[in-house]
Amino acid sequence: MALHESRWDRTLGYFASDPVRVSAFLRLPLIVLIAVLVWIWDVDSWLPEVYAIVLGVYAVAAVVWVAIVIRGGVPRWASWASTAIDVLVVVVLCLVSGGATAALLPVFFLLPISVAFQDRPVLTGVLGISAPIGYLAVWIVYSKRDDHVGLPDIVYTQVGFLLWLAVAVTALCFFLARRQARVDALQEVRRLLVAEAMSADERHNREIAEHLHDGPLQNLLAARMEVDELRERSPDPALDLVYDALQQTAASLRAGVSELHPQVLAQLGLEAGVRELLRQFQNRGSYVIVADLDDVGKPESQALMYRAARELLANVHKHARATHVEVGLRRAGEHVVLTVRDDGAGFDPDRIADRVADGHIGLGSLLARFDAMGGAMEFDSSAHGTLVTVTSPPETSAGVLRAER
């Protein structure tokens, strides 16, 4: 699995993952071709004003629809409804265009192809068959209005080709839908396995943290108290050295316990956990920190988001040579978004995979986890700084409701 995708790969994935977006963008050049065909076709139209109005409204609606699908949140029925409107509009344009019908008829052959992007074979078949039916209906109306044209035999052959095309794209859609279902099932199994592995990891860390806190740390604190009592009864520089060593060891052990299982995260939530990380981060260097943290509650993926924040801040401290750091935390629907920006030296995100091969698995491990769980980590880095945007995996409805409360 690739640990980093180029911006072009992400753009392709953005469109390939949503057939509604594909159809929306392909519709624009189709409208331009329709306008050009009729403009260069020297014919007398029956209702030129109606034709211009229908085509103009269709073009405006197509542009608005592109803007809507870019923003996202398009309902599932929009994929087949938009194609049904395409068929209807082309039929209307043919009926009001008179002799220009001959220029528009090839458009019918493009309609079944557009529905191949649907992931429901039954609807794809219905919409695909509507194209040859509309094509034949237009020719019948055209032949009735113009006695010189009639109904050529080639029309039936073309209807046959359209029917074959509809069957072909429906079969293609059927196989693509089955393959997508298998891929989705495998991704869900992968997500569950990663989630279980992360849960087991968290349980293991908590058990170790509790064992260290209740065992070695308490023994160490007890020994420190005894040494402190000895110092009070019999002052001795050697005892002072022992006391300082015990004090430093206890602080290191307490920090290790906190790193294994942050109590602030479990008790107060992600926002408080990130603030504590920033406090620790600031104590490690001279940084100007700007924090814009919303209270996002305790999201289901807060352990993963906390780990991402800790890893990113650690990388800024070790490698960036930055002096100004901005950290943001907000909720965006069913996701939580964390941003970390610094003014450091930057790095090449494409080298993350190479660093994993060299044994530096921090970012690589996070990328793999976010990818498996349905989240994302995006890097925008240059010589003037780095911006990392971390998007949590989608939460269930129950998780979103808990956060809103």
DSSP of 95-144, one letter per residue?
A: HHSGGGHHHHGGGGGTHHHHGGG-S-HHHHHHHHHHHHHHHHHHHHHHHH
The dihedrals phi and psi of 270, each to the nearest 5 degrees, come to -70, -40
The dihedrals phi and psi of 388, each to the nearest 5 degrees, come to -115, 125
Predicted local distance difference test score (pLDDT) of residue 103: 62
Within a domain: 396: yes
Which of 151, 184, 215 marks a domain boundary?
151
Q: How many domains does the chain have?
A: 2
Domain holding 123, by residue range, is 7-151
Handedness of CA 270, 275, 276, 282 (dihedral sign): positive
> pLDDT tens digit string along 276-288?
888 888 888 788 8
pLDDT band at 326 (very low <50, low <70, confident <90, very high): very high
Within a domain: 244: no
With pLDDT > 90 as the criterion, what percentage of the chain qualifies? Answer: 8
Read off the CATH number of the domain in which 346 is found. 3.30.565.10
Same domain, 20 and 141: yes
Which of 151, 179, 211 marks a domain boundary?
151
DSSP state of 344: S
**Average pLDDT score over the chain:** 78
With pLDDT > 70 as the criterion, what percentage of the chain qualifies? Answer: 80
For 343-362, what is the mean pLDDT? 70
The alpha carbon of 265 is separated from its chain's Cα centroid by a whole number of angstroms, namely 26
Within a domain: 398: yes
Asked if pLDDT for residue 395 goes beyond 60, the answer is yes
Predicted local distance difference test score (pLDDT) of residue 11: 42
Q: Write out the two tokens for 236.
A: 């001795």
Which of 123, 151, 179 marks a domain boundary?
151
Same domain, 11 and 147: yes
Euclidean distance between CA atoms 215 and 217, whole angstroms = 6
pLDDT band at 7 (very low <50, low <70, confident <90, very high): very low
Euclidean distance between CA atoms 139 and 97, whole angstroms = 12
Within a domain: 38: yes
Within a domain: 227: no
For 162-175, what is the mean pLDDT? 85
For 121-139, what is the mean pLDDT? 81
Within a domain: 164: no
Same domain, 21 and 142: yes
Q: What is the pTM of this model?
A: 0.56
Within a domain: 123: yes
Within a domain: 212: no
